[in-house]
Each structure stands twice: as C-alpha cells, then as structure tokens.
Amino acid sequence: MTYTALAVAAVVLTVVLDLVVLRTRLLLRRVFWVAYAIVLFFQLISNGVLTGRDVVTYDEGVIVRLRVAYAPVEDLLFGFALVVQSMCWWVHFAATGRRRRPRRHGG
C-alpha cells in the first residue's frame, strides 16, 4: 500500500473509532477543533523542521507529491489520526471505571 492509501484509511478508521467504536464524539465538539487547530500549528513547525532539513525523507513513488510546509500532504492525515486517536483514548479512559452521576443542571 502507498503512504497515500494508508493515510486515507487511517483517517477513516480514526473517525469510526471516535464516532462508532468509543463514541467519544470528539469530532463533533468545539473543544476538540480549537485544540486541534493549536496542535496543527505546532505540527506544521516541528514537521516542517524534520522534512525541510531532510531528517526524514520520503519515497516519491508512494505519495501524491503535494507538499505543505515541506512535508507531504499525507503527513497531515497521519498527524490527524495520531492526534485524534490519542485524544479519543484519553477521553474514553476518563469515562470508564467511574460511576456516572445524573446531571443536576442543564450543563
């Protein structure tokens, strides 16, 4: 499989993990998108260093050759999957093992 195919598959599986498997529904929440925007900003800098300075180099045959801040566009999908999966498991492990109390107020 190409990096492109793997990266697209990873995004699809990540969405399924959030919405269907763990039902953390982070992708539907404002707090996630604000946090993700902040992470993305720093990702573009750190990954820009790694790819711009050729710490990591890619086989041009397995990517679409569209680059954002020196990095293959696939890295944005890879990063999305890594960041979202991390947040999902974190939220998931907050909910399990604790008794849920009924909410007194509207929220």
Q: Is 90 in the site for other proteins (CB under 8 A)?
A: yes
Residue 50 touching other proteins (CB under 8 A): yes
Site string for other proteins, 2-41 (x = CB under 8 A): xx--x---x---------------x--xxxx-xxx-xx--
The count of other CB atoms within 10 Å of the CB of residue 26 is 20
42-to-5, 47, 55 alpha-carbon distances in Å? 25, 8, 17
Distances (CA, A) of 27 to 7, 80, 81, 93, 97: 18, 11, 12, 17, 23
The residues that touch other proteins, with contacts defined as CB under 8 A, are 2-3, 6, 10, 26, 29-32, 34-36, 38-39, 42, 46, 49-50, 53-59, 62, 78-79, 82-83, 85-87, 89-91, 93-94, 107
